[in-house]
Amino acid sequence: MSTIPGISYVNPEKMKAVKKALIGIVSVAACILVLAMLVNYLLGFLGYKGAVRKLMNAYQNYEIEVFTSMASEYYYSMENDSTAEDYFERIIADDLDVFEENVGHKYTFNYEITDSYNLSKHKLEELLDNLSVYEEFDASIISEVMIVEIEITVEGEEKGMTKNKTIYLTKEGENWRILYLY
């Protein structure tokens, strides 16, 4: 801006350049924000969070076959082929019954991961030793165990309730599998 007493002058070329630079900076910032949101969204479908999302959708809809398809190989080393199905069916059916008894048959279902962590090396070795009691199960296929703590909230027309669950996920090969649901 140049000033002559009583007259102020702004160079229009400089104003255009400043405006163009400002638009460029805002555009880049918006692109970065959108990209970060997209990456965050996509990561929710990958890794252990993706496995949890799939399991919780199945939990809500009582789709036991999803749980059995994602069950650890541990269950398939046992003599009874329906062990995984029986285990998950009992736990999920009991939970859904409690929801209906407390809030009614029509309710909304939400969950939140409140904590997640890997087992320590010592605890992992202890768990693998315990799982190795079944000679048919090769516990060495488990490379990692993730403990995921979840808070489930159901809201009925008049009442709501919260239930905490813990999921033990095992990394077997490239896939996350469910070992326990408490």
Pairing of strands 160-172, 142-155: antiparallel
> Is 0.85 topped by the overall pTM?
no
What is the residue whose two structure tokens read 């692109």? 31
What's the gap between Cα 16 and its chain centre? 47
pLDDT in tens, the chain (182 residues): 555 666 666 777 877 888 888 888 888 888 787 777 666 555 545 688 999 999 999 999 999 999 999 998 888 877 666 688 888 999 999 999 999 999 988 899 999 999 999 998 899 899 888 888 777 888 889 989 999 999 999 998 889 999 999 999 999 988 999 988 88
CATH of segment(s) 44-181:
3.10.450.50
Determine which helix (DSSP H) or strand (DSSP E) holds 152, and give its type and residue range. strand 142-155
- Per-residue pLDDT tens digits for 77-114: 776 666 888 889 999 999 999 999 999 888 999 999 99
